[in-house]
Structure formats: C-alpha cells, structure tokens
Amino acid sequence: MNRKIIPVSHPPLTSLDLEAFVSQAKALNQRNHDTFNTPFPKDSSRWISRYQFHSRPITFTDQGAVEGDLSWLVGATLDFSFARSLCADVYDARGGHCYDPASLLFLEVAAKVDRYPDYASFCDDLEQADKGRRYRELAGLDEAIPGQDSFSNFRKRVGHSVIDQTMAIMVELFTDFGLIKGEIVSTDGQLEPTHSRFKGCAYACQDCQGLPIDEASRHELAQQL
C-alpha cells in the first residue's frame, strides 16, 4: 500500500509551568484538608502501610518529561491523606489489619497516570526492586506490597465512585496544565511521528487544522479504517 507523507505544521512546544502547578496543588491540598475531616476509625497500629506526604524534588529529563513519570509529579505535590476521611465510613475500629487507604488510592492514581493497562502489570512492577521503588516510597509501603486482590477488595469496599472522583480531579488538573488531552485517537495501528505536545499522537478531530487533507484522501483514509 502506498502511503502519503502529510506535512504537519505545529505551534512551538511549551513547557510545564512548575511553579504554577505546585501552587495549584497546594491550594487543592488545603481544600481537601478543609473538606475531608472525618477521623479514620481504625487505629494506626493496625495499618499495613503508612502513607506520609511531604514535598519532593521534581526534575526533568532532556526531553522535557518529568523524571519518574507523572506519578512522581502527583506524589511529590499532592497529599492523599484525605483518603482516610473519604473512606472512613466503610472501615471499622474493629477487625483485622488493613492497608492505609491513602496508600491504595495513590497507587490507583499512579497506575492510571503512568498508563498501566491492568492491575497485573502494575503489581508486577510494584514488586520489582527498581521499577517499584518510587511507587513504594510515595505510597508508604514497607514489607507488605498489595497485590491484585488488595486493589480489587479496596474498590469493592470503598466503591468505584471514590476512585473515579479522585481521578476526575487529577484529569482536570493535568488538563489545565496541558499534560494530557481529552481527545481519543482513531487509528489502524500505523501512527506516524508527530510534533504533538505530550507523548502524543495525531488527533482526528473534525476541526483539526494540523492535518490538511482533501475529500478524496479523507475517503481513502475512512476506507482503510
């Protein structure tokens, strides 16, 4: 099959305004602290993990990406302690030990923003000495490392809405700073290198001006798809 190379004009790439991002993250942390203040019922002596938030250094690669991926940016700037209050009504003072809900909620978000396709692949990396080190550090994990059943039980206990609500906040924050886009790509599996802004792809939006294409070529592309 013959393929045409379409010249794509692109605007200058812009970098993340880290100072503004950190400032907005601090405001979000304070809002969560003021909003979620229900005490967590289970004594901390029976937590399997112990999440603790403190700001961490953020560096960038030569390509302009955050060192440690988006999960490090999240963990270094956003405080997940509010999860204990958010989940307090589904835990009890009695019963056995449990993972700190703040640990598991952070890991849920980390798996999503680092684009893991499923719990299995994320849990595999979480257990790896090197690959999983930053996740374990940020989540406050020590010897016990949650597996797929731990995440499944957590979702069943707290409900999908808690995780989805938290993810929605992350998406809104990342979208505001241009770290992720909302469009979904349609492709036959043959993506071309582009000048998209963040680990990107060529969008197929109706009003896209970046891919000039006539009606005949549009029809041919539609037939391929």
Q: Strand pairing partners for 47? A: 98
**In terms of domains, do 101 and 35 share one?**
yes
Give the per-residue pLDDT at 206: 53
**In terms of domains, do 133 and 221 share one?**
no
**In terms of domains, do 46 and 79 share one?**
yes
Give the per-residue pLDDT at 193: 45
User: Into how many domains does the chain fold?
Assistant: 2
Q: Is 69 in contact with 114 (CB distance < 8 Å)?
A: yes
Domain hosting residue 220, numbered range: 1-11+183-225
**In terms of domains, do 115 and 203 share one?**
no
**In terms of domains, do 165 and 211 share one?**
no
**In terms of domains, do 25 and 105 share one?**
yes
**In terms of domains, do 94 and 167 share one?**
yes
Where the chain has pLDDT below 50, the residues are: 1-14, 184-203
Give the per-residue pLDDT at 94: 87
**In terms of domains, do 79 and 168 share one?**
yes
**In terms of domains, do 90 and 44 share one?**
yes
**In terms of domains, do 27 and 2 share one?**
no
Q: Is 154 in contact with 101 (CB distance < 8 Å)?
A: yes
Give the per-residue pLDDT at 46: 93
Give the per-residue pLDDT at 161: 82
Instruction: Round to whole Å and give the CA distance between 143 and 75.
Output: 20
**In terms of domains, do 187 and 163 share one?**
no
**In terms of domains, do 122 and 218 share one?**
no
Give the per-residue pLDDT at 65: 77
Considering only the C-alpha atoms of the chain, give the largest distance between any 2 of them, rounded to a whole number of Å.
69
Phi-psi sector, 51: left (phi>0), alpha (psi -120 to 50), beta: beta
